[in-house]
Amino acid sequence: MKRVMRFVAAAAVLIVVAAFLLGLLFRLPGDERAIRISAVIAFAVQVFAFAIVLMVARTGTNVFPAWGLGMLLRLAALAVMGLWLVKALGLRAEPALIGMAAFFFVTTLVEPLLLRR
């Protein structure tokens, strides 16, 4: 539980910083909303994926299949965002998709650091 909370804190900080930087890049009306929605979805997917990997890591088995499942979850979330949510929520595609991909990237970089014992 302690590692999950550390990941939650690290992911939140990284996503807030990345959202701020993306906000400097995307300045059209509605871009802030698209970035914010992407941030919330990416955060939820990342925490869920990390929890799965951590549960598998605790059993002492190979974590790579679980990590692969997490990657598939991220890809599915990005696909759902691009193919459905952008249109359904009336978001601009560029900030929503670039934002989500950026949030997934920066938070995925932290995972290995927090999986170490």
Chain centroid to CA 51: how far? 13
pTM, full prediction: 0.93
Q: Which helix (H) or strand (E) holds 110?
A: none
**Distance in angstroms (rounded) separating the CA atoms of residues 72 and 54:** 16
Task: Provide the residue type at 108 as one letter.
Answer: T
**Average pLDDT of the chain, as a whole number:** 94
Give tens-digit pLDDT for 75-116. Answer: 999 999 999 999 999 999 999 999 999 999 999 999 989 887
Q: Where are the domains of the chain?
A: 2-115
The pair of three-digit structure tokens given for residue 38, joined into one six-digit string: 């992407």
**Distance in angstroms (rounded) separating the CA atoms of residues 48 and 76:** 13
**Distance in angstroms (rounded) separating the CA atoms of residues 36 and 76:** 19
**Distance in angstroms (rounded) separating the CA atoms of residues 18 and 106:** 8
Only one residue has tokens 């920066």, namely 106
